[in-house]
């Protein structure tokens, strides 16, 4: 057996790989839930405001689309993403936030 194999096996034995993976997953979910959603919401809010302002110059279906359909679709998608992220957070992590 080579020295590298011994070193690798020793490192894997010292680290519980499942703990590292779980920790990384929770950290990614936490980052997406906070900074990621804040950035996404600010972009979506600006876009929705511009689309709704543009609706005043539209008529028919395009006015309805710009005033109601697109804003509802965008805000609904953001809500769904936030819902999924909140359900993806472990109970232990939720307890640490309280």
Given this model, what pLDDT does residue 94 score? Answer: 52
CA angle 63, 44, 23 (to 5 degrees): 150
Given this model, what pLDDT does residue 48 score? Answer: 95
- What pTM does this model have? 0.66
Given this model, what pLDDT does residue 46 score? Answer: 96
Given this model, what pLDDT does residue 92 score? Answer: 52
- Residue by residue, DSSP assigns 17-49 as HHHHHHHHHHHHHHHIIIIIHHHHHHHHHHHHH
Counting as low any pLDDT under 70, the low residues of the chain are 1-2, 14-20, 90-98
- Give Cα 78 distance to the centre of its chain: 9
Given this model, what pLDDT does residue 34 score? Answer: 84
**Domain positions in the chain:** 3-97
Question: pLDDT tens digit string along 12-38?
Answer: 776 666 666 777 788 888 888 888 899
Given this model, what pLDDT does residue 18 score? Answer: 64
Largest CA distance in the chain: 76
- Between CA 36 and CA 39 the distance in angstroms is 5
């Amino acid at each position: 057996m080579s020295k590298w194999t011994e070193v690798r096996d020793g490192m894997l034995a010292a680290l519980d790989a499942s703990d590292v993976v779980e920790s990384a997953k929770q950290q990614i979910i936490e980052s997406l839930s906070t900074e990621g959603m804040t950035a996404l919401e600010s972009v979506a809010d600006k876009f929705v405001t511009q689309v709704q302002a543009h609706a005043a110059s539209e008529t028919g279906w395009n006015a309805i689309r710009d005033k109601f359909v697109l804003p509802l679709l965008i805000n609904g998608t953001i809500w769904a993403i936030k819902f999924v992220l909140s359900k993806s957070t472990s109970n232990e992590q939720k307890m640490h936030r309280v």
